[in-house]
Every structure is written in structure tokens, then in C-alpha cells.
Amino acid sequence: MTPLAALDFAAVVVFAISGALAASRAQLDIVGFAFIACLTAVGGGTLRDVLLNRDQVFWIAEPSYILIACLVAFLLFFTAHLFESRLKALEWADAVALSTAVAAGAGVAMQLGQPPVIVALMAVATGCFGGLMRDVVCNEVPLILKQGELYASAALAGGLALLTANYFDAPRIAEFSICAAVTFVLRAGSMLWGWSLPVYKSRPPKP
């Protein structure tokens, strides 16, 4: 398994967990669990592959990704109640999945010879859109849109970190590791200590 395939695999597994936890909060049946888990697991990677015009979307080239997501959904259908806080578990699973998916998205774009701006944008798209689809379908406020949260900004920072490491000719594994670490640290800091970006506040018109 190549490093990129391993990153896609890890992102699929952990995003599927977050999708299944979201399905449990919405009290869906087992088919709903599978649908939300699969949507979350492959949504960002599908958008990446379509936009980059890859020969095949990654889960069509290797359908086992869908089977893995369904297996995760099946297991969580019977065990989700064991989590003390399914929302917290969902958020942490999402943070781990975000960091791996960002590295995978940037890595695929770089492998295809895309310019730096596209590499950074594919990092954000791959990391964020699966969770966005999950939250919209489950009628939740998407994490990416919550006020001041470091989410898309964490993904962008991870993509830029990978580009910086690549500029200095770091080994490919080191590039992926740095990208994932920067993304996760920023996302975790937002969750634990309230790290955030300034938000717009309207001002009363001048008299």
C-alpha cells in the first residue's frame, strides 16, 4: 500500500466513524447509518478526484473502501451507545479524519503535478467536504461554518505546511506527517482551548 493509499484508507475509516456517530445522534436505521458513513467517508475524496480529473474516483478503482465504511457503520450501529458523549467522540473522530484527508488531498494533487494553489485547495476540499455533506444531510450546523472554529483554516494551514516541507525537499513521509500534525494541532486547539479566527461583527451606522 502506497502512503497516499494508506492516507485515503485512514481517512475513510475515521470519517466513517464520525458519519456513523452522526447517524446515531439522528437515530437512523442501519441503512441510514451505512449511507451517512459512506457519504462522509468518500465525499471529500470524490470531489477531489472529479475536480482533478483522475482516471478513476478512488473508491470506484478500489470498492473495498465502501465495504469498509459499511462495516464501520454496522459496528457503530450496535456500539454507539457506549460512548459517554457521542458529540465529543464525533468531533474528535472528525479532527483525526480531517488531518489525514488533508494530507491525502494535497498529496494526490501534488502527485498529479498541480500548482501550489491547487494543492492547497485540494487539501481543503478533501478534508472538509465529507463532513460538510454529513452535517447538512443530518440537519446539523456544519462544523466548517461554526462561528470562529478552526476547521477550513486548519485544513488550509496543513496544506501550506505540506507545500513548505516540499519546498525544502523533505521526505514524502515527513511532508504528510507535518501536514497532518499541523492540521490536527490547530483543530484540537480550537476544540480544547477555543482557538479561533476573528469573526465579523456588525457596527451601527454612523449618524
Q: Which residues of the chain have pLDDT under 70?
A: 84, 207
Residues 91-112 as b or e (16 or more Cβ within 10 Å = b): bbbbbbbbbbbbbbbbbbbbee
pLDDT (0 to 100) of residue 180? 97
Q: Can you give the residue ranges of every domain in the chain?
A: 3-193
The shares of helix, strand and coil residues in the chain, as percent rounded to the nearest 5, are 75, 0, 25
Global pTM reads: 0.92
Residues 119-170: tens digit of each pLDDT: 999 999 999 999 999 999 999 989 888 887 899 999 999 999 999 999 999 9
Q: 139 in the Ramachandran plot: left (φ > 0), alpha (ψ -120 to 50) or beta? A: left
